[in-house]
Amino acid sequence: MKTVILIPARYASTRYPGKPLAELTLPDGSRKSLIRMSWEAAKQVKGVDGVYVATDDDRIREAAEAFGAKVIMTSESCENGTARCADALARANIDADLIVNLQGDAPLTPAWFVEDLIAAMKADPEAQVATPVLQCDSLTYSHFTEDRKAGRVGGTTAVFNAKGHALYFSKEVLPYIDADKVPDNNIPVYHHVGVYAYRPGALAAYTNWPVSELETLEGLEQLRFLVNDTKVRCVIVQGKGRVFWELNNPEDVPRIESVLKDL
């Protein structure tokens, strides 16, 4: 199965303008941009035939090319990462059996998350799209609840059926849990990891469907697949002691820098 990784990156983020070029401090005191760290994470994935940054911004293009990344310039009208991946695939005429979208705000994504995702797509012919989910530990769950109490939009949660096919994704913390009944070692909340794998047909179809109401309300691009009855496989991945967090808001920078010190 020929697989490529695309890293969609845009400068004009609503919550964090210029986010791909934001620099994080590493344990040795050096600094790296978010886009570079995401690219380096993608390069660690085994069994991948190519890695590309997909952007419509020359500042991101210049930064990416400076550290050695291949860049595909896309339309400014791409409304989200999935649409940008579809546009990049069409413009570059890439021949692939599987396209992985590793979003540029997830530098803590371990290689095995993506490798497990690719393996699941090979094993599940029903699934047209797949995405990893990680069962929340107490620290991640506290980050979710702290963000919601503060009125911040933090990570995304996923709910899925017995076959692992998604029922819903939300920026609320789902399912609801009574605060007095949260189990310490088995929290039934799954953190959606911002990575997707698409079969080419599903990715092409995505851009032909209208934006759904749920997608607009939640601000979650993957809901367009569910609204159009496309099976999205939620692949449970193992943290192996690693804390995972995406960079959604400026407040997430110290969280991620703290995790980097423990790697």
Residues 180-235 pLDDT 10s? 777 667 889 999 988 999 999 999 999 999 999 999 999 999 999 999 999 999 99
Across 63-77, 228-242, 243-257, which has the greatest mean pLDDT? 63-77
Residues recorded for the chain: 263
Q: 151 vs 68, which has greater pLDDT?
A: 68
**Average pLDDT score, the chain:** 88
Q: What SS3 class is residue 122?
A: helix
- With a cut of 90, say whether residue 65 has pLDDT above it: yes
Angle, vertex CA 105, rays to CA 96 and CA 10, nearest 5? 75
Q: How far apart are CA 55 and CA 64, in angstroms?
A: 10
Q: Measure CA 169 to chain center.
A: 13
- With a cut of 70, say whether residue 259 has pLDDT above it: no
Under 8 Å between Cβ of 53 and 9: yes
Q: What is the pLDDT of residues 76-129, one digit of tens each?
A: 999 999 999 999 999 998 899 999 999 877 777 889 999 999 999 999 988 999
pLDDT band at 49 (very low <50, low <70, confident <90, very high): very high
Cα–Cα nearest to 140, from 13, 252, 3: 252
Report which residue type is found at 73: M
